[in-house]
Amino acid sequence: MILINDIKFSYSKHDVFDNLSLTFNEGTIYGLLGLNGAGKSTLLYLMCGLLFPQKGKVEFNGHDMTKRSPLALADMFLVPEEFELPRITFEKYVRLNAPFYPKFSRETLDKCLSGFNMTADIRLDKLSMGQKKKAFVCFALAANTSLLIMDEPTNGLDIPSKSQFRQVVSSCMDDNRTIIISTHQVRDVENLIDHITIINEKKCVFDRSIAEITDHLTFAATKSESAIYSQDSMGGGVSVSKRLIDDPETPLNIELLFNAVLAQKDAINQVFNK
Amino acid sequence: MNSVFNIKRFWTYLKREIVVNPKRVYIPAGLMTVLFGAFLLVKFAAGDSGDGVVAMNSLKNAAQSLMGFLGFGGAALVLIYTSQISNCFAQKTSCTDFLTVPASMLEKYVSKIVVNFIIPTTLYAAMFGYTMYSWNKPDTLTAWLAITAALVFVSGIFLFWGALFRRVAAMWAISAITALVLLIYHFRFDIDRMNFMFLDPWRVYFNGMSDAGVAGFFNIVAVVFFIISAVIGYFIYRRKQQIVKPFNR
């Protein structure tokens, strides 16, 4: 479990977070959403101990992340948006890095690679950006760490790979694991995430599970006067409304929810508080 | 498991560091092989005595010059590598990898010293020393001790310097020093004939090394100085890893 307790963080004069508190529990895949510059990547770096909060604490399974304890690092894995891989074969990369992760599973690695139609006999420097990302994600999943953090993991992936990504990640999920995915490409993580966290203007403005959202809200392909939020779309309009007792459950539209939360934060959250 | 220093984890990290940065080992090894190869070529072509036809003597002189250039070049390479120990904090991508690998800061720092200083210096000192010794010059051991002690001493400065400043500054400075040394060396190869006033301290130091006691003292001083620099460098390193510049922009 990762606990973010009342943190404040700023880049020189630009405040990013002020009194931000969040909890990420096991057995859940979190979708971390926010506008450009809202601080999604900053939050991920704070969780990994790459940045230190000016106030407050970030704890992962009881470890203060500012200490960067090897024991904590061995149980978490970060897939950053941009990364470097050495000029060696993937097999060699695995041999060199797997010993750092006590729960590393070769079986999981092979399963993930086959999920992406890849094999381990590849040279990392000969791969395209998308292929490198897939290989890195496979290693990250095979490390079997309790916490897996991915920053824009679908950037650079082609269309079939995005669907493979969802399948591969969901097949590696278990009750002891927390996966946090930060992304702009909300469609890429639809049907994968169990929980949505939206950050905006230095705070967390929305933090609900998918089950809670679909229990309390309905998403319609029409504009409605009684809706909490409506917007124009190619087909006419879309809207988010409070779900009434007799209303059927509707599929979640993450993009619409995101826009609704940014536009009508209080009205949306009020639905859940009642 | 100890979270400050664990020998198994250190060894795992060191292996990774060597494989991920092969040039730290291959370039000094390659350079020293060329140096040694040049020496062998001349040794067999011209003979140990150096007597023989003019062509052979020319070859011997050319190889001797090459040896000198490679000797200074190898030393400069060691200094460049040593000053790069803190370079892992220069870029976001290398920094992310460096900071998220599950090893302690001390294990990572010691690994950097091994890969950036101990391996290149050992390769340099061993090959250059053996080449000079085999050249049958009477003062080779003196020269070897003088150069090795000076290299270790200056490496200590560069480790500290590299920890404080950005790599570009350190590399430019090293390049300038190297160019100066090569220039002097090119015009005045034979150290006994050097008459530059500002080289006198070096000549005094060099001549002093012919005394075994003085040589031993200088080598110990150099090693102690390097260790002190490494300890201070570690604290600067720890400070840098707390406020990692690429992430704080």
Candidates B100, B240, B245: best to mutate against A (most CBs of A within 10 A) is: B100
> CA B228, CA A230: separation in Å to the nearest integer?
67
> CA A240, CA A269: separation in Å to the nearest integer?
13
Q: Which two tokens stand for residue A204?
A: 């967390």
Averaged pLDDT, groups of 10, chain A, 274 residues long: 94 89 96 94 94 94 93 96 92 96 97 95 94 97 97 93 95 95 90 95 94 94 87 86 91 94 94 83
Q: Which two tokens stand for residue B104?
A: 């302690």
- Contact between residue B45 and residue B58 where contact means Cβ atoms under 8 Å apart: no
Question: How high is the pLDDT of residue A49?
Answer: 92
Higher-confidence residue: A110 or B124? A110
Is the CATH code 3.40.350.10 the one for domain A2-201?
no
* B3: chain A residues, CB-CB within 8 Å: 69-71
Residue B185 has pLDDT above 90, yes or no: no
Question: How high is the pLDDT of residue B194?
Answer: 46
- Contact between residue A32 and residue A40 where contact means Cβ atoms under 8 Å apart: yes
Name the pLDDT band for B56 (thresholds 50, 70, 90): low
Query: For A75, which residue in chain B has the nearest alpha carbon?
Result: B102
> CA A41, CA A46: separation in Å to the nearest integer?
9
DSSP B173-190: HHHHHHHHHHHHHHH--S
Tell me how far CA of residue A147 lies from CA of A25, A30, A75, in angstroms.
10, 11, 7
Question: How high is the pLDDT of residue A63?
Answer: 95
Question: How high is the pLDDT of residue B197?
Answer: 47
CA angle centred on B128, ends B122 and B131, rounded to 5° = 135
Q: Does A99 touch chain B (CB under 8 A)?
A: yes
Model confidence, pTM: 0.87
Q: Please answer yes or no on whether B9 and A100 come within 8 Å at the CB atom.
A: yes
Higher-confidence residue: B235 or B107? B107
A171 forms beta bridges with: none
Of A84, A99, A101, the CB nearest to B97: A84
What ipTM did this prediction achieve? Answer: 0.90
* A83: chain B residues, CB-CB within 8 Å: 93, 96-97
Residue B62 has pLDDT above 50, yes or no: yes
B138 residue type, one letter? P
Domains of chain A by residue range: 2-201, 209-273
Residue B14 has pLDDT above 80, yes or no: yes
Q: Which two tokens stand for residue A50?
A: 């790459």
Question: How high is the pLDDT of residue A20?
Answer: 95
Question: How high is the pLDDT of residue B50?
Answer: 47
Higher-confidence residue: B106 or B124? B106
* B95: chain A residues, CB-CB within 8 Å: 50
**Tally: H helices and E strands in chain B:** 11, 0
Q: Annotate A177-194 with b (16+ C-beta within 10 A) or e (fewer).
A: bbbbbbbeebebbbebbb
Residues 145-184 of A with CB under 8 A from B: none
Query: For B238, which residue in chain A has the nearest alpha carbon?
Result: A67
